[in-house]
Chains A and B, each alone.
Chain A
Amino acid sequence: MKRIGVFLCHCGTNIGGVVDIAKVAEEVAKLPNVVTVQENKYSCSEPGQESILKGIKEHNLDRVVIAACSPRMHENTFRGVLERAGLNPYLLEMVNVREHNSWVHANEPEKATQKSIDLIRKAVFKVAKLEPLQPSKIGITKKALVIGGGIAGIQAALDIADAGHQVILVEREATIGGKMAMLDKTFPTLDCSA
Chain B
Amino acid sequence: MSAAAQHPNITLYTLAQVEKVEGYIGNFEVTIRLKARYVDMKKCTGCGICETKCPTKVVSEFDQGLGKRPAIYKPFPQAVPNKPVIDAANCRKLKEGKCGVCAKVCPTGAINYEDQDQIITEKVGAIVMATGFDLIDWTKYYGEYGGGKYPDVITGLQFERLVNASGPTGGKIKRPSDGKVPETVVFIKCVSSRDDTKGKAYCSRACCMYTAKHAIQVKEKLPNCDVYVFYMDVRTPGKAYDEFFERAKKAGAKYIRGRVSKIYQQGDKYIVKGEDTLVGQNVQVEADLVVLANAMVPDRDAIKTAQIVGFSYDKDGFYTEAHPKLQPVETNTGGVFLAGCCQGPKDIPDTVAQASAAAAKVIMLLSKDELIANPMIAFVNTELCSGCGLCTKICPYRAITLETITERVHGHEIKRDVASVNSGLCQGCGACTAECRSGAINLKGFTNSQILAEVEAACR
A contact residues vs B (CB 8 Å cutoff): 72-73, 90, 118, 121-126, 128-131, 133-190, 193-194
- Residue in contact with B26 in the complex, picked from A140, A170, A194, CB distance below 8 Å: A140
Q: Are A185 and B79 in contact (CB under 8 A)?
A: no
Q: Are A152 and B14 in contact (CB under 8 A)?
A: no
Q: Are A144 and B340 in contact (CB under 8 A)?
A: no
Could you tell me which residues of chain B, from 52 to 100, have a CB within 8 Å of some CB in chain A? 62, 64, 74-76, 78-81, 84-85
The DSSP consensus for interface residues of chain A is mixed
In the bound complex, residues from chain A placing their C-beta under 8 Å from that of B457 are 121-122, 124-126
Contacts A140-B368, A169-B4 hold; do A146 and B128 have CB atoms under 8 A apart?
yes
Q: Are A173 and B30 in contact (CB under 8 A)?
A: no
In the bound complex, residues from chain B placing their C-beta under 8 Å from that of A190 are 213, 216
Q: Are A140 and B365 in contact (CB under 8 A)?
A: yes
In the bound complex, residues from chain B placing their C-beta under 8 Å from that of A147 are 18, 127-131, 305, 309
Q: Are A174 and B14 in contact (CB under 8 A)?
A: yes
> Which of B158-166, B223-231, B261-269, B281-289 forms part of the interface with chain A?
B158-166
Q: Are B240 and A170 in contact (CB under 8 A)?
A: no
In the bound complex, residues from chain B placing their C-beta under 8 Å from that of A187 are 209-210, 212-213, 241, 244, 347
Q: Are B124 and A149 in contact (CB under 8 A)?
A: no
Interface pairs (30), CB distance under 8 Å: A122-B457, A124-B457, A126-B457, A133-B375, A137-B372, A139-B27, A144-B124, A145-B127, A146-B128, A152-B130, A152-B351, A153-B340, A153-B355, A156-B128, A156-B337, A156-B359, A160-B9, A161-B9, A163-B363, A167-B10, A168-B10, A169-B10, A172-B17, A176-B4, A177-B76, A179-B157, A185-B213, A188-B209, A193-B348, A194-B78
Give the Cβ gap from A130 to chain B, nearest Cβ, in Å. 7
Top 9 A-B pairs, shortest CB-CB distance = A152-B340, A159-B359, A153-B130, A148-B130, A125-B457, A155-B355, A161-B9, A175-B79, A140-B26
> Can you name the residue of chain B whose Cβ is closest to the Cβ of A163?
B363
Q: Are A135 and B305 in contact (CB under 8 A)?
A: no
Interface: B390 (CB within 8 A): no
- Residue in contact with B456 in the complex, picked from A125, A133, A175, A193, CB distance below 8 Å: A125
Q: How far is the CA of A146 from the CA of B351 in the complex (A)?
A: 15
Q: How far is the CA of A193 from the CA of B444 in the complex (A)?
A: 52
Q: Are A167 and B456 in contact (CB under 8 A)?
A: no
> Can you name the residue of chain A whose Cβ is closest to the Cβ of B164?
A184
Size class of B's contact patch?
35 or more
Interface: B409 (CB within 8 A): no
Interface: B438 (CB within 8 A): no
In the bound complex, residues from chain A placing their C-beta under 8 Å from that of B290 are none
In the bound complex, residues from chain A placing their C-beta under 8 Å from that of B15 are 171-174
Q: Are A136 and B375 in contact (CB under 8 A)?
A: yes
Q: Are A184 and B340 in contact (CB under 8 A)?
A: no
In the bound complex, residues from chain B placing their C-beta under 8 Å from that of A157 are 4, 7, 10, 128, 359
Q: Are A142 and B17 in contact (CB under 8 A)?
A: no
> Can you name the residue of chain A whose Cβ is closest to the Cβ of B460?
A121
Give the Cβ gap from A183 to chain B, nearest Cβ, in Å. 5
Give the Cβ gap from B111 to chain A, nearest Cβ, in Å. 15
In the bound complex, residues from chain A placing their C-beta under 8 Å from that of B216 are 190
Contacts A145-B122, A167-B11, A171-B16 hold; do A138 and B127 have CB atoms under 8 A apart?
no
- Residue in contact with B123 in the complex, picked from A128, A131, A143, CB distance below 8 Å: A143
Could you tell me which residues of chain B, from 317 to 372, have a CB within 8 Å of some CB in chain A? 323, 326, 337, 339-342, 347-348, 351-352, 354-356, 358-360, 362-363, 365-372
Q: How far is the CA of A136 from the CA of B84 in the complex (A)?
A: 49
Q: Are A153 and B128 in contact (CB under 8 A)?
A: yes
In the bound complex, residues from chain B placing their C-beta under 8 Å from that of A131 are 444
Total A-B pairs, Cβ < 8 A: 313
> Can you name the residue of chain A whose Cβ is closest to the Cβ of B296?
A179
Q: How far is the CA of A194 from the CA of B342 in the complex (A)?
A: 21
Q: Are A159 and B355 in contact (CB under 8 A)?
A: yes
In the bound complex, residues from chain A placing their C-beta under 8 Å from that of B217 are 184-185
Q: Are A138 and B26 in contact (CB under 8 A)?
A: yes
Q: How far is the CA of A14 from the CA of B160 in the complex (A)?
A: 51
Interface: B144 (CB within 8 A): no
Q: How far is the CA of A166 from the CA of B157 in the complex (A)?
A: 34
- Residue in contact with B423 in the complex, picked from A138, A151, A156, A162, CB distance below 8 Å: A138
Q: Are A175 and B355 in contact (CB under 8 A)?
A: no
- Residue in contact with A152 in the complex, picked from B85, B239, B240, B341, CB distance below 8 Å: B341
In the bound complex, residues from chain B placing their C-beta under 8 Å from that of A162 are 7, 9
In the bound complex, residues from chain B placing their C-beta under 8 Å from that of A171 are 12-16
Q: Are B342 and A148 in contact (CB under 8 A)?
A: yes
In the bound complex, residues from chain B placing their C-beta under 8 Å from that of A154 are 1, 3-4, 355
Interface: B450 (CB within 8 A): yes
Interface: B453 (CB within 8 A): yes
Q: How far is the CA of A143 from the CA of B167 in the complex (A)?
A: 37
In the bound complex, residues from chain A placing their C-beta under 8 Å from that of B447 are 129
Q: How far is the CA of A121 from the CA of B374 in the complex (A)?
A: 26
